[in-house]
Amino acid sequence: MPGQFRSYVWDPVLIIGQILSMQSAFYLGLGLWIVVVDYILASHRSLDQVFSYEDLQTRDVKGSLTMVTYALNALSCSVGLWYVVRRTKQCWDFAMTMHFFHLLACWAFNHHLPHSLSWWLINIVSIIITTVCGEFLCMRTEMKAIPLSMGPKADL
């Protein structure tokens, strides 16, 4: 198609690879942030901090810091979007996909959908942070000037 800049080609292998990469980055980043917070608090680590929605509450310090780890993980995932996806238009899609698969994993782990308001709020905030920061990083990369010649620059 002549005249189109960055024409989109359907590549399901690329999309599935990007989804798997971003889902891995999501859980790896969340796990690392939880380990750091648990080390600071000298508390035990468990999968409940990742998948159980009862741990995401503001009643105690550990629950609040677990919520902070989700926000920090959103920043880590936005860097992942910048590195893996590299397209501003697709940041929201991949952020939603990551959190949708996380919802499915939490559903399977707990055997029912999360009913905690704090779980839903922190995941919505995480989607927003991931999307906005990922779009910002991708947009900066997409807006870089494309050099047209390799010769010395001449000011006119």
pLDDT in tens, 42-52: 777 778 888 88
Backbone angles phi, psi at 107, to 5 degrees: -65, -45
Q: What HEC string does the chain produce?
A: CCCCCCCCCCCHHHHHHHHHHHHHHHHHHHHHHHHHHHHHHCCCCCCHHHHCHHHCCCCCHHHHHHHHHHHHHHHHHHHHHHHHCCCHHHHHHHHHHHHHHHHHHHHHHHCCCCCCHHHHHHHHHHHHHHHHHHHHHHHHHHCCCCCCCCCCCCCC
| pTM (two decimals) | 0.83
Tell me the pLDDT tens digit for each residue of 77-95. Answer: 999 999 999 889 999 999 9
| Structure-model confidence comparison of residues 77 and 146, the more confident one | 77
What is the average pLDDT value for the chain, to the nearest integer?
A: 87
d(CA 73, CA 69): 6
| Structure-model confidence comparison of residues 156 and 139, the more confident one | 139
Q: Is the pLDDT of residue 68 over 80?
A: yes
Q: Is the pLDDT of residue 4 over 70?
A: no
Tell me the pLDDT tens digit for each residue of 8-29. Answer: 677 889 999 999 999 999 999 9
What are the residues whose beta carbons fall under 8 Å from the beta carbon of 115, sequence distance 6 or more?
53
pLDDT of res. 40 = 85
